[in-house]
Amino acid sequence: MSAETVLFDAPGPKARLRHRILTGVGALLVLLALWVVYRKMDSANQLQGFMWEPFVTDKAVWTAYLLPGLWETAKAAAASVVLAGAFGIIFGMGRLSPFRSVRWVSSVVVEFFRSVPVLLMMVFFFFGYFATASWLPNQYAPFAAVVLALTLYNGSVIAELVRSGVHSLPKGQSEAGMSIGLTDFQTLRIVQLPQALRAMLPALVGQLVVVLKDTALGTVVLYPELLTSAKTLGSAYANTVPAYLVAAFLFIVINYLLTRLASYVEGFMQRKKRSAGTPMAAASAAGPA
């Protein structure tokens, strides 16, 4: 008898027919929704050629609006990812500390910033501090609020990834570190953390998508990212809906590329793990000389 566990039975003829019917109904509903959107946009003259013409005839649309907005989005996302990575590693290790006080403080910080919406943090940091801070020039206040909010939220998520990644390692890893005279902290830093980071690398790359999308929330604090630039573009050329659609398309393309990167990293890590295990398995099978 096969030891393989069967989670789901293969669908029979009636189940397959039911699935096809439900799929067809879903497709019709999607087409109906698209038709309604098309009719609404057409009645509002948002699909006329002159509304889209600036995107191909006026280079200022890209050089003065979309590309600068894309650059601001990338800049905020890059800064947030670097700072969130450092924040996540520090507080993730804090949650694994042998000292109860350190674990308690780290847990409170991580759980608090994971629970607060990113938009609320951006508004609070901007209007509550950075907008009136005398040491920070006014033009940098929105950037600071966006980056700090994204850092705290995503850093808390990364801290939880670090904690779960270390806990997923075999117990023998920590015991091996102890057996050669390492302290708990040294075992965590030298033995466990590097392995956990490699294991959660695909999830970290996937978190880039979240950071990049959440930069669009910076529009509420007047940060000139891609969504804000599209809004300004729509006001300047009186084509708000096409401007938003182009911005959405750019977001989709970038996020798709990041998702593909995460899939590639995951596949690469799996292939590397298999290739590393093959020589060891072959040596075990060969036995002593």
CATH topology of domain 60-272: MetI-like fold (1.10.3720)
The sign of the CA dihedral 216, 220, 226, 230 is positive
d(CA 228, CA 107): 35
The sign of the CA dihedral 94, 100, 105, 111 is positive
pLDDT single digits (tens) 264-280:
877 777 777 666 555 54
Average pLDDT over every residue of 238-245: 90
Q: Which two tokens stand for residue 141?
A: 């206040």
Output the pTM of the full model: 0.79
pLDDT single digits (tens) 57-110:
999 999 999 999 999 999 999 999 999 999 999 999 899 888 899 999 999 999
Q: Which two tokens stand for residue 24?
A: 């067809």
Helices (H) and strands (E) in the chain, counts: 14, 0
**What are the sequence ranges of the domains in the chain?**
60-272
pLDDT value, residue 189: 76
